[in-house]
Amino acid sequence: MRLLTLLIVFILPTFLGAKEQLNILTYDSFTSEWGPGPSIEKSFEEICNCEINWSTADSSGALLSRVKLTNNKEGFDILLGIDDSLMSEAKDTKLFSNHSLSQDSLSSLNIDWSDKIFVPFDYGYFSFIYNSSKLTNPPKSFDELAARDDIRIIIMDPRTSTPGLGLAKWIYQLKGDDSKGFWISLQDQIVITSKSWSDGYGLFLEGEGDVVLSYSTSPAYHAIAESDENYKAILFEEGHAEQIEVLGVLKNAPNKKLAEQFVNFTITKGFQDHIPYGNWMYPIIDGVEGDSDFYKYAPVPNSLDRVYGSAEDKALWINYWSSSID
Amino acid sequence: MGLLKIKLYGSIIGPQVLIKTIQNLKGSLLIKLPFYFYILILISIGASVLFFFYSLENLSVSYDNFFQQSIKFTFFQAILSTSISITFGFILSLCLYLSNIKSQYITSTLNFFFIAPVLFISYGVIFIHGSNGLMQKIFQLFNLDFSYSFFGLVGIIYVTSFFNIALSANYFYRKLINIPENYLKLLTANKINFYLALTKYLRPIILNNIIILVSMILIFCISNFTIIYIFANSPLLTTIELAIYQKISFEANIVDAVIYGFIQSGLIILILIPILKLKNNFELLTLKQSEIYRIYKPNLLSTMILIIFCFYFFTPCLVILKGLFNFNLDLLFSLGTLTAFVYSFLIAISSLFISLLISLSSLFITRGLYEKKSHLNNYVILTIFIISFIPSITLSAILFLINSNLNFILPNFLIVSFINSFLLTPLIFLFLIPKFMENNRYERLKVIQFKIAPLVRLIKIDFLKFKKELFIICSSCFVLSMGDLTSITLFNSNSFKTVPYLISQLYSNYRYDDAFFLLAVFVIFIVFFLYSINRVFYKNAGIK
C-alpha cells in the first residue's frame, strides 16, 4: 500500500506533466548557441507545451544520408536544412509525407512556392565573397573571374557540400554544355576545394584564398556581428543561382501532429525573426525584425531562374566539375 | 545475486562442490571470458556484414576515378611520409644520442609528441604556417615577400611526419642507448669514431627489426583521416579512409563504404605480413633501458640539426600560448564544454577498461598456448590485430548499421567506446607481451609445483612484472582515446560530443579564439595527466 502511495505521489505527476517531444534533425550550425536554433526553440516551446530535441549532422548533405541509411529508425519528426537541389533525391526516398500548409499560406511567402512535401524556411543566392581591403578591383562577371589569374579561389566539393553543388548548378545554368571548358579555365585559380562550406569559409578568413564561394548574405554577418564592412559579395551581371533551404515531415514521425504545428510555425514571424541574424539568410516572409539593416549589407542580387535539379541533373553538374580535374 | 546463487548451490550440493566452483572461477575461464566475448563480437560483426551483403538484391560498387585516385594517393602519401619519418627519425635519434640531454626527458617528450592529439598539432601548424600565421607575420615585419600555403600535400606530409618522426626517433634512440657499454668501450679503444662505428658496427644493431617500425608507420599513414580532412585542398588528395567517410556521410552508400573498407584492410594485411612472419619474437617494441655510457660528444652539425628539429616540434605548441591569452571562463564552465569533458573522460576510461580486459585475456591465452607449444597462439594474435585492419570509419559504419537494425538499442557512447577499445587493444597487447612472456618457462614450473591458480598468477606474479609498462601504456591509450576524432564524427549528437569534436566545431564556426583556448586547456590537462602518472607510478625507474 505504501509502495502504491509512493508510486502515485512521485511517478504519476511525471506522466501528467510530461511534455510532448519534437525530434528535429538539422545541421550543426543551426542549433549552435550562435545559430537560430535556441531562439526558435524558445519561441516555439512558448506556444506548443512541448520540448524540441535537436539532433545534428555535420552538414546539410549529411542530413539526408542519415535518414536514408536508417529509414528514419532514429525516430525524427522533422528534417530541417536540406536545400532545393536535394529535394528530388529526398522525394525519391519516399521517407517524407505531404505537409498540410494551404496554397493560401504559401502564397503569402515572398518567394514562389508550391511544393507539396517540403516547406521553405529561408533562401539565399550563391556568391563569391572578397575582402575589399585586400582585393580592390573585384571581377564583374564569371568570365572575368576565370580570366583573373591573380585571384585565388576557394570552392566546396559538389559531392559533399550544397554550396559546392550550387556552384556546379550555377555554372551549368550559365554555360550549359560548355560547363566543362569553363570549369577547366577556373581550375588554375582554385586553390582549395573544401569538404564543407564552413571549412572553406574558415580558410578564406585565414587568408588562404582571395575569394570564397558563399552567399550574398555573408557580408551582413561581418558588418552586423563583427562591425567589419570590408567583406563584400561580388555581384555578377549575369545573375546568381538561388538556394532555398527547406524542411519536411518524415512519414514515420512519432509525433506528426506536433511536426505539422512546427511546419506552420516556420512561416510565421516567431521563426522568421531569427533567420536574418541567426542563419544569415533571407527570410521567406516580409517585415521581419531588423530586416532593413540586413538588406542594406546583403542586397538581393540578380536572380537566375530557379532550377529543381533531378538526381540525373545533379550527376550531370557534378560530372562537368569532376571531368575538369581528372 | 551471484553470491546468493552460489550460497543456494552450496547448501544443496555441499561445501566441497562450492569450493571447487570458486576455484574454477579463480581459474583460467574467468580470465579467458573477455577474449571469448571479443571473439563473439567479431563473429557478430562478420555475420552482420555477410547477412547485409546476402540480403542485397543487386550488388554494384562504384570504382570511379576518385576512388582509384584515393588508392593511389593513400599509398603515395603513406610511402612518402614513412620514408621521411624513418630518415628524419633516424637523424634525430643520432643527434639526441650525441646530446647531453637526459634520456628520460628525451623519451618522455618523444612519447608525448607521438600521442599528442592530432587536432592540437594540426591547428598548431596552421597557427604557425597558415597564410595569416605567425611565420607570415614575422616575414611581413621584415618586409619579406615569402608566401607559401601549407594546405595540400605539404601540410599533410608535414603533420603526418610529426607524429611518426617522434615514433621512429624514439625507437632508434632506445636502440642506441641500449648498445652495451663494453661494446662502445671496445670501439673507442680501437679509435673508431662515431661515424665509422655507426656505418660499420652499430648499423646492424640499430636496423634490427626495422621492418616492424616501417610497417607500423605505413599503417598509421594509410589510416590517416583527421590530417587529410583538415589539410587536403583538392578532391584528388583523398585517402581511402576519407573516401569511406564521404560514401557514408554524404551518399548513404554503406555497400561501397564497406567494400572500400575491405580493400583497405586487404592492403594493410599485405603490409602486416612481415610482422606476422616474426613468430614468437616478443622482443618487438620495448627495450631495457640502461644508463647511457657517453663516449661520443655533440658536434656543431648535430647541434644545428637538433635546433631545427626543436623548431619543428615545439613551434606548433605555441598555439597553447595563443589559447591561454584568450582565457574564457564562461566557455570553460559552459554546459557544452563540461559535457564534452565528461564524455571524453568517460569514453577514455571505458575504452581503456574494455581494451585492457581483452588484451590481458588474450595475453593470458597466448602465453598458455605458447607454453603448450601450440601454433594456435598465432591465431590469437591475428584475432587481436584483425580489427585494427578494418578502418575505424568502416567499423563505425558497420556498427551504426547493426545498431540501426537493433532499433538503436546501443547508446552512441558505448559504440564509440567499443570502437576506440578495439583500436587500443593491439597497442596494449604489443606493449605488454615482452614483459608478459618474460621467464614464462621458469614461472610455469613454479606454478605447477605450487599449484598457483591462474588468477592468482595474473595478479600476484604477472601484474608485478608489467606494472610499470601497464601504467605507461594505459596513460598513453587514455590520451589517444581522449584525443580521437574519428568515430565521433559519425556518432556525435547535440548532447553527445567530445572535447576534440567541440574544438573542431568551434574552429569550423570561426570561433578561433575559443577553439584555441579549449585546445590549450585540453593539452595542458593531458600533459598534467601524463606527468602525474609518470610521477606516481614511474618515479624511480626512468621512462620507457
Domain count, chain B: 1
For residue B391, the one-letter residue type is P
What integer is the mean pLDDT of A201-215? Answer: 92
How far is residue A23's CA from residue B182's CA, in Å, rounded to a whole number? 72
- Whether residue B94 is contained in a domain is answered as yes
User: What's the complex ipTM?
Assistant: 0.83
Question: Do B510 and A55 lie within an 8 Å CB cutoff?
Answer: no
Question: Do A202 and B248 lie within an 8 Å CB cutoff?
Answer: no
pLDDT tens for A41-73 read 999 999 988 999 888 887 777 889 889 888 888
Q: Write down the pLDDT at residue A82.
A: 92
- Check if the beta carbon of residue A21 is closer than 8 Å to that of residue A53: yes
Q: Is the pLDDT of residue A246 over 90?
A: yes
CB proximity list for B249: less than 8 A, separation 6 or greater: A57, A58, A61, A62, A65, A160, B489, B490
- Whether residue B112 is contained in a domain is answered as yes
> C-alpha cell of B364?
593470458
Q: Write down the pLDDT at residue B6.
A: 42
* Three-class secondary structure assignment of B265-297: HHHHHHHHHHHHHCCCCCCCCCCCCCCCCCCCC
Q: Write down the pLDDT at residue B2.
A: 43
Q: Write down the pLDDT at residue A15.
A: 47
Could you tell me what percent of chain A has a pLDDT over 70?
94
**Cβ-Cβ contacts under 8 Å, B487 against chain A:** none
- For chain B, say whether A183 makes contact (Cβ under 8 Å): no
Question: CA-nearest residue of chain B to A161?
Answer: B250
- Distance between terminal CA atoms of chain A? 77
Neighbours of B244 (CB within 10 A): 29
**Angle, alpha carbons A72-B38-B43 (nearest 5°):** 60
Among the four given CATH numbers 3.40.190.10, 3.30.70.580, 3.40.50.2000, 3.40.50.720, the one describing domain A2-122+244-297: 3.40.190.10
- For chain B, say whether A196 makes contact (Cβ under 8 Å): yes
> C-alpha cell of B287?
627495450
- Whether residue B4 is contained in a domain is answered as no
Segments forming the whole domain that contains residue B528: 27-51+64-537
Which of B132, B258, B508, B516 has the highest number of chain A CBs within 10 A, making it the mutation to test binding with A? Answer: B508
Question: CA-nearest residue of chain B to A52?
Answer: B494
Which of B136, B229, B488, B494 has the highest number of chain A CBs within 10 A, making it the mutation to test binding with A? Answer: B494
Neighbours of B220 (CB within 10 A): 18
Q: Write down the pLDDT at residue B544.
A: 39
- Whether residue B352 is contained in a domain is answered as yes
Q: Is the pLDDT of residue A218 over 80?
A: yes
Q: Write down the pLDDT at residue B542.
A: 44
For residue B157, the one-letter residue type is I
- For chain B, say whether A188 makes contact (Cβ under 8 Å): no
Distances (CA, A) of A239 to A216, A243, A307, A318, A320: 12, 13, 14, 21, 20
Q: Look at residues B309, B423, B302 and name the one whose alpha carbon lies nearest to residue B358.
A: B423
The more confidently predicted of residues A257 and B382 is A257
Q: Write down the pLDDT at residue A191.
A: 93
CATH superfamily of A124-242+304-323: Periplasmic binding protein-like II (3.40.190.10)
CA of residue A323 relative to chain centroid, distance:
27
pLDDT tens for A262-285 read 999 999 999 999 999 999 999 999
Q: Is the pLDDT of residue A16 over 70?
A: no
CB proximity list for B409: less than 8 A, separation 6 or greater: B403
* Three-class secondary structure assignment of chain A: CHHHHHHHHHCHHHHHHCCEEEEEEEEHHHHCCCCCHHHHHHHHHHHHCEEEEEEEECCHHHHHHHHHHHCCCCCCCEEEEEEHHHHHHHHHCCCEECCCCCHHHHHCCCCCCCCCCCEEEEEEEEEEEEECCCCCCCCCCHHHHHHCCCCCEEEECCCCCHHHHHHHHHHHHHHHHHHHHHHHHHHCCEEEEECCHHHHHHHHHCCCCCEEEEECCHHHHHHHHCCCCCEEEECCCCCECEEEEEEEEECCCCCHHHHHHHHHHHCCHHHHCCHHHHCCCEECCCCCCCHHHHHHHCCCCCECCCCCCCHHHHHHHHHHHHHCCC
- For chain B, say whether A66 makes contact (Cβ under 8 Å): yes
Q: Write down the pLDDT at residue A41.
A: 94
Question: CA-nearest residue of chain B to A210?
Answer: B131
- Whether residue B367 is contained in a domain is answered as yes
Distance from CA of A256 to the nearest CA of B (A): 20
Q: Write down the pLDDT at residue A10.
A: 52
- For chain B, say whether A162 makes contact (Cβ under 8 Å): no
Question: CA-nearest residue of chain B to A207?
Answer: B131
- For chain B, say whether A191 makes contact (Cβ under 8 Å): yes
Radius of gyration of chain B (CA): 25
pLDDT tens for A159-180 read 888 899 999 999 999 999 999 9
Pairing of strands A96-97, A153-156: unpaired
Which of A29, A157, A199 is the closest to B235 by Cβ?
A: A157
Question: Do B494 and A31 lie within an 8 Å CB cutoff?
Answer: yes
Q: Over its length of 544 residues, how does chain B's per-residue pLDDT go in tens digits? A: 444 444 444 444 455 655 555 555 556 788 889 999 999 998 988 898 888 888 777 667 677 778 888 999 999 999 999 999 999 999 999 999 888 888 888 988 998 999 999 999 999 999 999 888 899 889 988 888 777 888 899 999 999 999 999 999 998 998 888 877 778 788 778 877 777 877 777 777 777 778 878 888 988 898 888 899 889 888 889 899 888 888 888 888 888 888 888 888 888 878 777 666 654 444 444 445 545 566 677 788 889 999 999 999 999 999 999 999 999 888 899 888 999 999 999 999 999 999 999 999 999 898 888 888 777 877 888 788 777 777 788 888 788 888 888 888 888 889 999 999 988 898 898 888 888 888 777 888 888 888 888 888 888 888 888 888 888 889 889 998 888 877 887 787 767 889 999 898 888 777 888 999 999 999 999 999 888 887 776 565 444 3
Chain A / chain B CB contacts < 8 angstroms: 96
**Cβ-Cβ contacts under 8 Å, B408 against chain A:** 70, 73-74
Which of B69, B72, B233 has the highest number of chain A CBs within 10 A, making it the mutation to test binding with A? Answer: B233
Q: What is the CATH number of the domain that holds B144?
A: 1.10.3720.10
Q: Write down the pLDDT at residue A11.
A: 52
How far is residue B376's CA from residue B478's CA, in Å, rounded to a whole number? 31
Which of A53, A56, A186 has the highest number of chain B CBs within 10 A, making it the mutation to test binding with B? Answer: A56
Distance from CA of B495 to the nearest CA of A (A): 8
Q: Write down the pLDDT at residue A9.
A: 54
Question: DSSP secondary-structure letter at B525?
Answer: H
Question: Do B493 and A192 lie within an 8 Å CB cutoff?
Answer: no
The residue ranges of every structural domain in chain A are 2-122+244-297, 124-242+304-323
Radius of gyration of chain A (CA): 22
Q: Write down the pLDDT at residue B538.
A: 59
